């Protein structure tokens, strides 16, 4: 295991959110997590995968026709 296990607060800080958001991701089973006894941790790689999967790429505009429109 090479991934660091993050607390809710650490995960929230990396995402730039409150601790409630990673808790909701776990409750909705939208992100992988690890239970260590009664503690819940999020692998750092799971956060990276979540961000990559939800990243929206910008639309590249098509080249406009240079001809004269009458």
**Span 19-62, pLDDT tens digits:** 999 999 999 999 999 999 999 999 999 999 999 999 999 998 88
pLDDT at site 2: 76
Reported as type and span, the H/E element at residue 26 is: helix 20-27
CA distances from 39 to 27, 50, 52, 63 (A): 14, 21, 26, 53
pLDDT at site 3: 87
Domain assignments of the chain as residue spans, ordered by start: 5-53
Q: How far is CA 25 from the centre of its chain?
A: 10
| pTM of the complete model | 0.77
Angle at the Cα of 52 from the Cα atoms of 12 and 17, rounded to 5 degrees: 15
CA distances from 13 to 7, 17, 20, 31 (A): 10, 6, 11, 16
């Amino acid at each position: 295991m090479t991934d660091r296990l993050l607390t809710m607060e650490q995960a929230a800080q990396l995402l730039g959110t409150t601790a409630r958001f990673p808790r909701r991701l776990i409750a909705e089973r939208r992100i992988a997590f690890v239970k260590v006894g009664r503690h819940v941790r999020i692998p750092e790689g799971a956060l990276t995968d979540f961000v990559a999967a939800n990243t929206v790429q910008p639309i590249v505009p098509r080249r406009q026709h240079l001809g004269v429109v009458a």
